[in-house]
Chains A and B, each alone.
Chain A
Amino acid sequence: MEAAHKKESGKPVFSDYDYSNFYYGSGDDPLNLLPPFNEWYREAKPNGYYLYNEPLETAPTTKVRVRDGKTQEVRDLVNLASYNYLGISYRPEVKQAAMDALQKYGLGASGSPILSGTFDVHVELAKAVAEFKDKEAAILFPTGYSANVGFISAIMRAGDHIFCDQYSHASIVDGAILAKSKTVFFRHNNPMDLERKLSGVRGKKLVVVEGVYSMDGDVCLLPEIVDVAKRHGARILIDEAHSTFLFGPNGRGVSEHFGLDDQVDFHLGTFSKSLGGQGGFVAGSKDLIDYLTGFGRSRFFSCNLAPALAAGLTTGVRIVMNEPQLRARLWSNVAFLRRRFAEEGIDIGKSTSQVMPVMVNNDAKVFAVAEKTQQGGLFLQPVTYPALPKHKSRLRISVSAAHSEEELEFAVGVIGRVLREEGICRA
């Protein structure tokens, strides 16, 4: 208790606060939260928060050049942070397709997709996605965030019920808010709790899950979730942001992996993860896509994807369809890293995918661990409360098919050394 008394009078200690403290605040002026936030942030940034928003000066390949947020020093690092799970975004043929489209169409779409912003390259991309997903049609959104917000708010209304996993992405939560439906959260990946929450609820019901959860890297218990949802007459949306192009015999996602493609009602994916691009999509029946074209507000009222991006993505989708060895290479890398982490006593939590959290489980140490790993030559970010429960902080790794075993072995060496130095894992 003495230590608490020794603090400078009236001045809060920055480590007592975090982002969550600066969201809610009543008073007379919406700017009232800025001074306390900035007072906190001025101390928090040099103490670890500078590790966010560090600018890259090269393409997000497996090696990147990064400007240090604290020292401004430029360093070459092994990249474990970018998605790019299949290493597509910097493939020469992808860049060439994008450059050709840039030459032909210029910088942007210059309009909403329903007015002047749809080009032949967008139509081609939507067709490629539909073919890849084995659906009648697909619709494009400017981002994955926009896809969830636009889709959920397009089909659900006030008085309806949306049942979301408690670890749902913000875009799912924001979609539910925009839909004005009653939102019920079930415990993470827990079909029994979903059953309890669905029981007795009448009217329109939508269950929303993700193929792979982005903080833990665990895979949705889809067979059990589908069983519960079907028995209660609920429709199912699966957000395959981190699983499209990766899971299943054809890479269509976790729903294909479990043989449940036809049992899931709505399939959503993104281009920013596996393809390293930008944008989102929904694939389904032509009737569904026609409806979304009219009611997907986040798309309707946004400028369309840049034509160069659409052209590059189409090439990326074709690469995925023609090169299944890319997925094999990714899963081989995942298996290698899992084995090496296990041998080194490094905890990766519940991960069963290419998203691997290196568990630090210490909110006070996670920034020091991240700083040391960066100084050791790795580019990866800390994740901590409030993005996670308290004391569940971690470094989040994105494994890519493009990583070499030498790069992954280097990462294991650096992470293992730092975690041992910090007393996080056994010697």
Chain B
Amino acid sequence: MPGLTQYGYRDAMSGFFEFPTENARRILPAHLEPVEVHHGTSVFALTAFDFDKSEVGAYGEVVMAVVVAPLVKPGQPFPKSAMYPYLVATTTKAARDHAIERWHLPHWMDDVDIAFDRQKDHVTVHVKADGAPVADLTIYQYEWHPVSHLHQSFMKDGDANYLAHITMEGQHSEHENEKGSVKLYEHPFNKVLSIADVYDVPFREQWMRDGRQTFQPLEQLETA
């Protein structure tokens, strides 16, 4: 299909954490609505990618996002979920420039260090920016099954709002056994989060490996 952009990854691990809806609303643009797991409790998602194949080579990436309501249109494929990535960080300048130019994703403007500490049944991802720790994310595996899931990603760049349709393919493990964890550090990287109010155990842990992330061409949204 013309216009598709593909990225191959070795690992893509996500932790989904409860945090106050007030915090989510402070992060989100007005046209997006946070998904709540409970009344007053929204979802902060931290995802770490280990990309091994892309137009800009291999690189690491972390995505800080809020889970939001997907945009549903008649006759269009139905997405499984939607995100608003409010901060992305990469290990290379080339990857950062590419994502800013093509996807209008908001970035931490310096390279970050992302280390994947792979153990038998879990991985801990250590993220550092400017030499200081930003986040440590641990995700445990469950059963593995092949999937192909359609997701949406909303972006805002100045006054312009965008939507990307993203298909995630690969081996998929997902559970809600509350085994993983996150440690978020006081750092400018995390300035929009009330860290004490982010629950440090993910209610859901998702791990995809040996897969492919496919972006359809970006769609510009008309919002009020």
B39 near A26 with CB under 8 A, answer no
Q: Decide if A4 touches B147 in the complex (CB within 8 Å).
A: yes
Identify which of A7, A26, A35, A391 contacts B69 (C-beta below 8 A). Answer: A26
A4 touches B148 (CB 8 A): yes
Given contacts A24-B70, A26-B72, A391-B142, contact A166 B38 (CB under 8 A): yes
Of the candidates A10, A35, A183, A391, the one whose C-beta lies within 8 Å of that of B177 is A391
Q: CB-CB contacts of B55-71 with A at 8 A, as 1s and 0s?
A: 00000000000001111
- Is B176 an interface residue when CB atoms closer than 8 A count as contact? yes
**A1-22 Cβ-contact flags toward B at 8 Å (1 or 0):** 1111101001010001100010
> Whole-angstrom distance between the alpha carbons of A25 and B39 in the complex?
17
Whether the pair B70, A26 counts as a contact (CB closer than 8 A) is: yes
Closest CB in chain B relative to A267 CB, distance in Å: 24
Chain A, residue nearest B75 (CB): A35
Q: Measured between C-beta atoms, what is the minimum distance from B72 to chain A in Å?
A: 4
Q: Are A390 and B176 closer than 8 Å at their CB atoms?
A: yes
Known contacts A35-B74, A389-B203: A1-B38 contact under CB 8 Å: no
* A173 CB–B CB distance under 8 Å: yes
User: Which residues of A328-342 are within 8 A (CB) of B?
Assistant: none
- Contact: B72 with A32, CB < 8 Å? yes
| A152 → B minimal CB distance (Å) | 12
- Whether A1 pairs with B146 at a CB distance below 8 angstroms is yes
On whether the beta carbons of B80 and A183 are closer than 8 Å, the reply is: no
Residues of chain B contacted by A182 (CB below 8 angstroms):
40
Q: Which of B95-103, B124-132, B166-174 binds A?
A: B166-174
Task: Report Cα–Cα, A184/B39, bound state, in Å.
Answer: 9
Is A392 close to B, CB under 8 A? Answer: yes
By the criterion CB–CB under 8 Å, are B77 and A12 in contact? yes
Bound CA span A183–B177, Å: 24
Of B40, B71, B176, the contact of A183 (CB 8 Å cutoff): B40
Q: Contact flags (1/0) for A333-355 with B, using CB distance below 8 Å?
A: 00000000000000000000000
Q: Which among A24, A27, A32, A164 is the interface contact of B35 at CB below 8 angstroms?
A: A24
B136 contacts the other chain (CB 8 A): no
C-alpha gap A5/B169 in the complex (Å): 8
- Does B149 sit at the interface, judged by CB under 8 A? yes
Instruction: Say yes or no: B176 contacts A27, CB within 8 Å.
Output: no
A216–B64 Cα distance when bound, in Å, is 34
Residues of chain B contacted by A149 (CB below 8 angstroms): none
Q: Which residues of B contact A176 (CB under 8 A)?
A: 39
Report if B120 contacts A (CB, 8 A).
no
How far, in Å, is B77 (CB) from chain A's closest CB?
Answer: 6
Across-interface contacts of B54 in A (CB, < 8 A) = none
**A1-B211, A25-B72, A26-B33 as given contacts; A7 in contact with B175, CB under 8 Å:** no
Please give the distance in Å from B152's CB to the nearest CB on chain A: 10
Q: Are A16 and B147 in contact (CB under 8 A)?
A: yes
State whether A1 touches B80 (Cβ < 8 A). no
Beyond A4-B147, A7-B148, A183-B40, whether A36 also contacts B175 by CB under 8 A is no
- B146 and A16: CB pair below 8 A? no
**Pair B39/A173 contact, Cβ less than 8 Å:** yes
User: Chain B contacts of A2 at CB under 8 A?
Assistant: 146
Which partner residue on chain A sits nearest B71 by CB separation?
A26
**Residues of the A chain whose Cβ atoms lie less than 8 Å from the Cβ of B170:** 1, 4
Q: Are B77 and A24 in contact (CB under 8 A)?
A: no
User: Complex: how many Å from CA A33 to CA B72?
Assistant: 7
Q: Are A390 and B148 in contact (CB under 8 A)?
A: no
Which residue from B41, B80, B148, B171 sits with its C-beta under 8 Å from A5?
Answer: B148
Chain A neighbourhood of B38, CB < 8 A: 164, 166, 173, 183, 185
Q: How near does chain B come to A197, taking the closest CB pair, in angstroms?
A: 10
A391-B142, A391-B175 known; A21 vs B80 contact (CB < 8 Å): yes
A368 at the interface (CB under 8 A from B): no
- Are B71 and A27 within 8 A (Cβ)? yes
CB contacts (< 8 Å) of A389 on chain B: these are: 176-177, 203
> Mask for B38-54, Cβ within 8 A of A = 1, else 0?
11110000000000000
Within 8 A of B (CB), among A376-421: 389-392
- The reply to whether B74 and A32 contact each other, CB–CB distance below 8 Å, is yes
Asked if A177 is an interface residue, CB under 8 A from chain B, the answer is: yes
The 7 residue pairs across chains A and B that have the minimum distance between CB atoms: A389-B176, A24-B69, A25-B72, A4-B148, A36-B78, A3-B146, A4-B146
23 A-B pairs whose Cβ atoms sit less than 8 Å apart in the complex: A1-B170, A1-B211, A2-B146, A4-B147, A5-B169, A12-B150, A16-B80, A21-B78, A21-B80, A25-B69, A25-B71, A26-B33, A26-B72, A27-B71, A32-B72, A32-B74, A39-B78, A176-B39, A177-B39, A183-B39, A185-B38, A391-B175, A391-B177
A36-B72, A390-B204 provided; 4 other pairs, C-beta below 8 A?
A12-B77, A16-B147, A16-B149, A390-B175
